[in-house]
Amino acid sequence: MSSLERDNHGNARFCGCSSIRDFEFLGKLGEGTFGEVYKARSKKDTSVVALKRILMHNEKDGVRVPLYYSSTS
């Protein structure tokens, strides 16, 4: 079964991208007009990162889609 993250064979669709499940959320750092920023720890290598949850607006049907962006600290 394919998904946004994986194709029909279970391979990652986006090279270099991690799943949100690969992180442990440690707390919310802040928020702004376009989203929220969280402090998180990688479950793979224990590095601490900032994850930005960006709210994207779909002009067709008005549905907000969350998108996460990672930045190492």
Q: Is the CB of residue 20 less than 8 Å from the CB of residue 12? A: no
As given in the structure block, the two tokens for residue 66 are 């969350």
Spatial separation of the C-alpha atoms in residues 8 and 20, rounded to whole Å = 19
Query: Which residue has 């190492």 as its token pair?
Result: 72
> Which among 26, 19, 30 is positioned nearest to 40, based on CA atoms?
26
Determine if residue 43 is labeled as part of a ligand binding site: no
Q: Which residues are annotated as a binding site?
A: 52
Q: Which residues are annotated as a binding site for ATP?
A: 52
